[in-house]
Structure 1
């Protein structure tokens, strides 16, 4: 029987493995290489599209692993380039059009608008607009009507998730749902999840170890079950001091150090 990796890592991108402002990930490159040499797997899990994640995954040396796309609504298999069709997205846009007004999705924006809201380059903004399964966007209506809009969306069968920048609507599927599928597929000995925003909470709670990566620009994650708020011991949920890829590397290296000194039964 083929043994799974000793550690399977699930990682959010924006504000976690990628710097919130610059989108750089290179500060985490040594930790990524250390994971590779140790035979550990890394599965990216993001609200980004397959078209966005595929080149990032290649650059990070993770092309042999799948990636969770569009907040769990899609899955990019190893080696795939993310250029499949988008019938689901067209149906989603039609469902959103039937909701009360006030939500401005990526499909309502130009790629220049997306670049302005995110800091992405124009080419990267075009890739961000290549949706297949979900629609991120901004609430641009009156604040007093936001909760009613969200309730109507949920009544219509849509899943609503708040990320670090955008509100995302989809027909369902979460990062945690896809995480369960990947754990079943690869059967790792240990699991680690890292994220910075509310849409990462279920993934963090599902993992053996969850890491909240510091990101002052994120809506933040409240204290979670299994977290030692006193800071005296390390609970099952931990928080980094460093932000973005610096904090990501900080946590991954500490956990790899622990595993290196822990013998399997």
Structure 2
């Protein structure tokens, strides 16, 4: 495998995809520029393999893998998706075993069902069905306060279940993190540079672990607090939200890369 000049890792909802429409049209120039330079785009999301496969094909991402279910799994094009949902069943069992007062503020996808997922996300029925096909994680709505969330997460932690806030949902997961999977993929490619973009707290580790981190402006959910790399300029914030901010950040990065002679252009 040839070593590309860089790898770009990106969250989806609220980052590459618009928070409301799930569209990515404003990012088209940057997507084309990455493709022309042979720079792989690695999707990193809480979405399932079934959901990612559709978007991966739509974006024409070729053989690039994708980080799924908040870092709990890695999907490779052509491999299909595993049907092993044992991790998901463990998470659901752990939820059911919690005291009612701790459990009550969390409504997971397993509680919502496909129709409820469609309502909560705005996804069409087929996409909601794909979102329900989980293997390693359980996103859901949290209606409690911060103190309750700390107690909820602490009760699940002994079983290896982590709770991370995304732009829209609180996701419970077993397995790795986005940052750990990013490191694994980067080793596979041997890339000299890693760029990571995200908009929510569950992206913080990945953004801080990259050579260049980009916090995409978040007008709709829990924003990211100041991160360590911001003072040195290793972590940047976009002026625009969603795919428009994503587009501007990637094009700016590519200009800098071109000045250093670190990219090739196909065609």
**TM-score if structure 1 supplies the norm length?**
0.92
Match of 1:178 in 2: 181
1:1-265 counterparts in 2 under 5 A? 2-82=1-81, 84-100=83-99, 101-102=103-104, 103-140=106-143, 145-228=148-231, 235-263=233-261
Query: Shift of residue 64 of structure 1?
Result: 1.2
What is the alpha-carbon distance in structure 2 between the residues aligned to residue 12 and residue 99 of structure 1? 30
Query: Shift of residue 143 of structure 1?
Result: 6.6
Higher mean alpha-carbon deviation, 214-223 vs 133-142, is at: 133-142
1:36-57: CA deviation from partner (whole Å, max 9, x where unpaired): 1101111000000011010101
Query: Shift of residue 243 of structure 1?
Result: 1.2
Match of 2:265 in 1: none
CA contact (8 A) 1:63 1:79 kept: no
Secondary structure at the counterpart of residue 130 of structure 1:
coil
Unaligned runs of 5+ in 1: 229-233
1:231-260: CA deviation from partner (whole Å, max 9, x where unpaired): xxx811111111111110100000000010
1:154-179: CA deviation from partner (whole Å, max 9, x where unpaired): 13321111111111111231100100
What is the alpha-carbon distance in structure 2 between the residues aligned to residue 209 and residue 21 of structure 1? 27
Query: Shift of residue 86 of structure 1?
Result: 1.7
Query: Shift of residue 142 of structure 1?
Result: 6.9
CA contact (8 A) 1:29 1:60 kept: no
CA contact (8 A) 2:53 2:77 kept: no
Aligned-CA RMSD value: 1.7
Question: 1 or 2 for the larger relative contact order (CA 8 Å, sep ≥6)?
Answer: 2
Count of residues in Structure 1 that have an aligned counterpart in Structure 2: 258
What is the alpha-carbon distance in structure 2 between the residues aligned to residue 81 and residue 31 of structure 1? 28
1:27-74: CA deviation from partner (whole Å, max 9, x where unpaired): 112211111110111100000001101010100011310000000001
CA contact (8 A) 1:12 1:44 kept: yes
What is the alpha-carbon distance in structure 1 between the residues aligned to residue 155 and residue 251 of structure 2? 44
Unaligned runs of 5+ in 2: 263-267
Query: Shift of residue 124 of structure 1?
Result: 1.0
| Structure that is richer in helix per residue | 2
